[in-house]
Homo-oligomer: A and B are copies of this chain.
Amino acid sequence: MPKRNALYAQSGGVTSVINASACGVIETARQHRDRIGKVYAGDNGIVGVLTEDLIDTSRESARTIAGLRHTPGGAFGSARYKLKSLEENRTEYERIIEVCKAHNIGYFFYNGGGDSMDTAHKLSRIGKRLGYPITCIGVPKTVDNDLPITDTCPGFGSVAKYIAISTQEAAKDVISMAETSTKVFILEVMGRHAGWIAAAGGLAGSRPEDAPHIILFPEIPFNRQRFLARVRCCVKDYGYCVVVVSEGARYRNGQFLADTGLVDAFGHKQLGGAATVIANMVRDKLGFKFHYAIADYLQRAARHLASATDVRQAYAVGKAAVELALAGKNAVMPVIVRTSDRPYKWSIGSTSLGRVANREKMMPRRYITKDGFGITAAGRRYLEPLIQGEDYPPYRNGLPDYVTLKRVMVRKKLKTKFVLS
């Protein structure tokens, strides 16, 4: 069989370790030059694939590719661009096949969440039908930790570590000032549908008096009266109260605490401001001095504080994706298999894309305490291993020495331009 090239694309919200997966894909492909030609990357993910804007990763030095392991963001550009269904827009899938054909691409590694796994899955089928079979392998990534089957999603462990440590540190600040200053501190974290990230804040402390004293999960309908009573109680008992609130926290009727009315490309509501709503509630009803922080992108970009476990797993799924392809597998995704909690042991397995596409893994109710404000021992047992270990980037002149790619573009071969819908 003649050597075919590979295509790698990043999709959706980036993470502090998605480039570690890219590093795993590219380094492993380079180790198999006898079977895989060049690795091209979609410039801004699938958008670049559609428009035939491909980055030639073979033009990047081994040193630069190695540096991806410690560089946050999406080095090749990512996209929030959801392909329509085959029935609605067959043209998009056909175009991708056309681009792959033009550039002798036989392998497609798609690094993303549930939507992307669905795309990869469809592509593997349509390629075959159109007489140009492509090996499509998913590479899991999402800070939301909501992919099924895999024990965790690369990207999540580092956000979890960042949120746990930020909560711990801010609490150290607040407790030392509470007597005469701020009594209530609120940290807003990501997690639109599931409270995985908010739950990670719970790792900051383990005794009742430790922060965070209250976690507001999307899974638990927000009850203002119960919340305020708890805040008052914490301030009385401990002198202060630290709250971690998920951006996805909502009322019993499903309305988000902070509903701005904006909608993104996926039709998801654009949120922000749960902390502000909570803070105003505390001020108006309890009169305590408050402060709030909104971590936003800082939490998913904080490569300086990555979990070493997360980095290793991100690299491992990238590496495994190439190995699966070389083993003749198609329409699969490497997964992380937990074989032991303490000590934490994991290995890499795989599952079919059909089983992960468009399925969200919710947080089990048993990870949340009965009162709905904290995490249980079971939740801690699941989360704790994921933040283990530090993996510091190298520094230069006081700043992390993150790599920037040359991004040499592949010469276009198609005559037609593709206009994004």
Residues of A within 8 A of B (CB): 10, 13-14, 16, 44, 47, 71-81, 161, 164-166, 168-177, 179-182, 185, 187, 203-204, 264-265, 270, 272-273, 275-276, 289, 291-298, 300-305, 307, 384, 387-390, 392, 395, 397-400, 402
CB contact under 8 A between A180 and B47, given known A175-B73, A398-B387: yes
Residues of B close to A270: CB separation below 8 A: 289
Once the chains bind, are A79 and B173 in contact (CB under 8 Å)?
no
Residues of B close to A176: CB separation below 8 A: 10, 14, 44, 73-78
Once the chains bind, are B265 and A181 in contact (CB under 8 Å)?
yes
Question: Secondary structure of the A side of the interface?
Answer: mixed
Nearest-neighbour CB distance to chain B for A133, whole angstroms, equals 29
Contact of A177 among B75, B79, B399 (CB under 8 A): B79
CA distance A276 to B305 in the complex (A): 26
CA distance A75 to B175 in the complex (A): 9
CB contact under 8 A between A172 and B73, given known A181-B264, A293-B295: yes
Once the chains bind, are A307 and B172 in contact (CB under 8 Å)?
no
Nearest-neighbour CB distance to chain B for A212, whole angstroms, equals 13
Nearest-neighbour CB distance to chain B for A131, whole angstroms, equals 31
**Interchain residue pairs A-B with the least CB separation, the first 3:** A73-B172, A74-B176, A293-B296
Once the chains bind, are B173 and A400 in contact (CB under 8 Å)?
no
The chain B residue with its CB closest to the CB of A186 is B296
Residues of B close to A77: CB separation below 8 A: 175-177, 179
The chain B residue with its CB closest to the CB of A176 is B74
Once the chains bind, are B173 and A14 in contact (CB under 8 Å)?
yes
Once the chains bind, are A168 and B75 in contact (CB under 8 Å)?
no
Once the chains bind, are B392 and A388 in contact (CB under 8 Å)?
no
Residues of B close to A169: CB separation below 8 A: 16, 72-73, 298, 301-304, 400
CA distance A388 to B73 in the complex (A): 24
Once the chains bind, are A398 and B295 in contact (CB under 8 Å)?
no
Once the chains bind, are A294 and B297 in contact (CB under 8 Å)?
no
Once the chains bind, are A80 and B265 in contact (CB under 8 Å)?
no
Contact of A398 among B72, B161, B289, B392 (CB under 8 A): B161
CA distance A208 to B19 in the complex (A): 25
Q: Which of A73, A171, A264, A384 has the most CB of B within 10 A?
A: A73
Once the chains bind, are A80 and B293 in contact (CB under 8 Å)?
no
CA distance A157 to B181 in the complex (A): 24
Nearest-neighbour CB distance to chain B for A271, whole angstroms, equals 10
Residues of B close to A300: CB separation below 8 A: 173
Nearest-neighbour CB distance to chain B for A108, whole angstroms, equals 19
CA distance A295 to B298 in the complex (A): 9
Q: Which of A180, A185, A270 has the most CB of B within 10 A?
A: A180
Residues of B close to A14: CB separation below 8 A: 173, 176-177
Residues of B close to A402: CB separation below 8 A: 168, 172
Once the chains bind, are B73 and A173 in contact (CB under 8 Å)?
yes
Once the chains bind, are A78 and B177 in contact (CB under 8 Å)?
yes
Nearest-neighbour CB distance to chain B for A295, whole angstroms, equals 6
CA distance A395 to B388 in the complex (A): 9
Once the chains bind, are A292 and B296 in contact (CB under 8 Å)?
yes
Once the chains bind, are B170 and A298 in contact (CB under 8 Å)?
yes
Q: Which of A185, A187, A296 has the most CB of B within 10 A?
A: A296
Once the chains bind, are A173 and B297 in contact (CB under 8 Å)?
yes
Once the chains bind, are A174 and B392 in contact (CB under 8 Å)?
no
Given contacts A14-B177, A168-B400, A170-B301, 17 further A-B contacts (CB under 8 A): A14-B176, A47-B180, A72-B169, A72-B172, A73-B176, A74-B176, A75-B176, A77-B179, A78-B177, A79-B177, A81-B180, A166-B302, A187-B298, A264-B289, A270-B289, A295-B298, A390-B392
CB contact under 8 A between A173 and B301, given known A179-B47, A180-B265, A291-B296: yes
